[in-house]
Structure formats: structure tokens, C-alpha cells
Amino acid sequence: MLKIIHICQYYNDGYGYQENLLPKYQKKLGHDVKVITSNRTSFFSSGQRPKIVGVGEYEDNGFTVHRLSILGEFKGKFVFFKGLRELLEEEKPDYIFHHGITSPSIITCAKYKAKNSSVFLVADNHAEYCNSARIPILSHLYYRFLWTPLIKRVSHHVDVFFSITPGCKAFAEKELSIPENKHKILYLGSDTEVNKYNETEGKKVRDLFGIQQDEIVAITAGKFDEKKRLDSLIKAFRKIDSQQTRLIIVGSFLQEEYEKYIDGCIGKDDRIIKVGWVQANELFKYFSASDFAVFPGGQSAVWQQTISCELPLVIKYWPGTEYLLSRDNGLFLFSDKQEEIEQALKVMVNSPKTRGEMRENAKIVRNEMLSYEVIAKQSVSFIDEKDKG
């Protein structure tokens, strides 16, 4: 059994993010797991502003969460923990999993590792070109001039760097000079205990909204802003000339103005159902009511959840996302053109055989790559490799 400490800048109780689920499944493997975080929720907490919560320990998802007060923060990026070094010395972990590379706490962890060589230290990266470095000049200043020198100073103390996609791996090696020889992929996954197809719950959702069992249902979900291109999806869907199709929209909006714009796009089309925000552990019910999922914009952890619920997937192509559709379990969108979205919708709506094959293939992707049980085992397997070396 390992004593594993996760360090993340922000933490949202009960969510389906990596920092919620990887500790959960490491705990299920029999390890002693604790998450150390700040007394704040993240910027993306249900589309609301961050909340300041109490400090101290409590249990969430079967493991211990320890919230520390902070000295300050770069909002939405990182915090300056108060008392992190002292807490690590008190906990004496065997394994530290640091969520994120560009935050001051990685320096604290490296210093702890320097004095405690037996601890296994990993740091993971979620940044890539589609969600970071959108302004090249600012990217050079922030990543290459601020963080690259700092990471070079600590990288020899880090046993393994993880990136969640091949695109993230390429970004980290180019922009942050992460050494390739200790850089691995650890995919984001899904809570397969919760996110699974449930015919009974799916039928309840269909009955709730008056959807007939022979109607074809597309679904999209997430925290919506302009980058998710929900407006383009709605406009494309409204071009589908069939009363036997429905579109379910589940999620919150990050800007009130954009939500009003979306309401205008929907208009009086009663085939489109706008549900609003639901808890992460309720999403499977809506996915179970659907025939396929569509995400024409920016990436989201919801993509993994839909695959876990055996849904065929239509997603915008980003470098490094190939693994999500590696078993022909969906379609990529290669442009932002509404016409391409419309064509993909027609393929899905008019091809029940194709949808059925994609559903079966989604199960394979889930079981082989996206199960957090599998990912949790991978996350600790590198310790064995180090011991053997």
C-alpha cells in the first residue's frame, strides 16, 4: 500500500474531474489517498464564480480532502499555499501527484523530494495549444520566459511528467522543455461506476420530455461559451428536416449574453430541449436517453463520459484527440463550418447500423483506455518500473 498525496490548486467537491476520480480509484486499489488543495473552488465551478470555503479535513468520494489557506493567487491559474511544506513533512507520503506543472507548489514538492529521495514525484500537464498559448507573445512570456527556467530547476527531482493527451505532451515538450525521456501519457478517463448506459433511466428522461422511443436524439453537454460553438450546432440541427429528431442541451452558460443568443437561435423549435445544469453523477441518465453526442467546439472532459455511456461521438478534431475515436466510434469535424456539422448530423440520424457499430466500438475504447480503474493502475505502475531500474 502506498501513501499517495495529490496536490491541486482548486477542488470542487463531487465533480467528475481528474482530481476527483483518480484519487477515488487509487483508493479502491487499496492505497491511502489524500488530496491537498486550497480553500477555494475552481473558476469553472458550475459556471459560477469561485467560492472560498473552509480549511481543514473532510471526506469526499471515499478519500480525504485537506484544504489549506493561501497567501495569494493568480486567479484561475494557481495559488500560493500556506503551510504546504509543513503538511508534506507531517504526512510523509510515498507518492506525490502534482496536478499541473506551472504553479509554485511544484517547487515546494521538488524541494521536499530533494530532502526525501524515496518519495515518488509526478506532475501532470493539461495545457495544449487549443486551450493555452492562444496569444503567441503572451505565451512566450508566460511559458518560455517565466516557467521554463523554473521547471528546468526542478525537473530532475520529478520522476515522471504526465500529459493527458498527445497534444498536451507535444505542447509541454516544446513550450516548457519537459524532458521527453521521462514524459508519459496518462489519459483523462471516466468514472465507469457512474457513467454507464442505463436503459431504465434513459427511458425516464425520454418520458419526462415527451420523446418517443423511436425518435433519434442528439445530445451535447458542458459549460457553454462561444468556443463550444453551440450556436453552430443548433443552426445545423435546425436544417435537419425531420420531426423524428431531437437535440438535448445539458449544461450551464459562462456568459448571460451568450445564453440569450442561444435562446434566440433555438427560437420556437420544440425539437430542441434546453435542460440546464445537472450534477456530474446525473449526466449518464441524459446520455442513456440519447443516440449520439455532438461537440463541435473546444475540448471537454464530458467527451470521455459520453464514450463511457456507449454513445457514438461527433467531435471537433484537435491534434492529440485521435485516441478518443481510435476504434471508429464516431466522426471528427475538421472545420468550423456549419455545413460540416449538418452533414455529420445527417450521417448519424440516417444510419442506424452505423450508430449501432459505433456503440459497440465505444465500449472497447472505454474498457481499454478510459476506465479510471485502468488509469489508476497505470498511474502507480511507474513506481514499479523505477524500483526495477
DSSP state letter for 228: G
199-370 is classed CATH 3.40.50.1370? no
| C-alpha–C-alpha distance, residues 200 and 183, integer Å | 43
Band of pLDDT at residue 40, cut at 50, 70 and 90: very high
**Superfamily of the domain at 3-189+372-388:** Glycogen Phosphorylase B; (3.40.50.2000)
Q: Model confidence over 69-88: pLDDT tens digits? A: 999 998 888 999 999 999 99
What pLDDT is recorded for position 134?
59
What pLDDT is recorded for position 269?
96
What is the percent of the chain where pLDDT is above 70? 94
Q: Model confidence over 145-168: pLDDT tens digits? A: 889 999 999 999 999 999 998 889
From the centroid of its chain, how far is CA 196?
A: 17
| C-alpha–C-alpha distance, residues 42 and 35, integer Å | 15
| C-alpha–C-alpha distance, residues 372 and 378, integer Å | 9
Helix (H) or strand (E) holding 170: helix 166-175
Residue type, 30: G
What pLDDT is recorded for position 76?
81
Phi, psi (deg, nearest 5) at residue 23 = -60, -40
Phi, psi (deg, nearest 5) at residue 276 = 95, -170
Q: pTM of the predicted model, to two decimals? A: 0.85
Give me the half-sphere count of Cα atoms (radius 13 Å) on the Cβ side of residue 319: 11
Domain ranges in the chain with CATH number 3.40.50.2000: 3-189+372-388, 199-370
Give me the half-sphere count of Cα atoms (radius 13 Å) on the Cβ side of residue 354: 14
Taking 90 as the threshold, does the pLDDT of residue 387 lie above it?
no
| C-alpha–C-alpha distance, residues 299 and 315, integer Å | 8
Taking 90 as the threshold, does the pLDDT of residue 132 lie above it?
no
108, 88 Cβ separation under 8 angstroms: yes
Band of pLDDT at residue 276, cut at 50, 70 and 90: very high
Looking at per-residue confidence, does 223 or 319 come out higher? 223
Cα torsion 51, 255, 19, 250: sign: positive
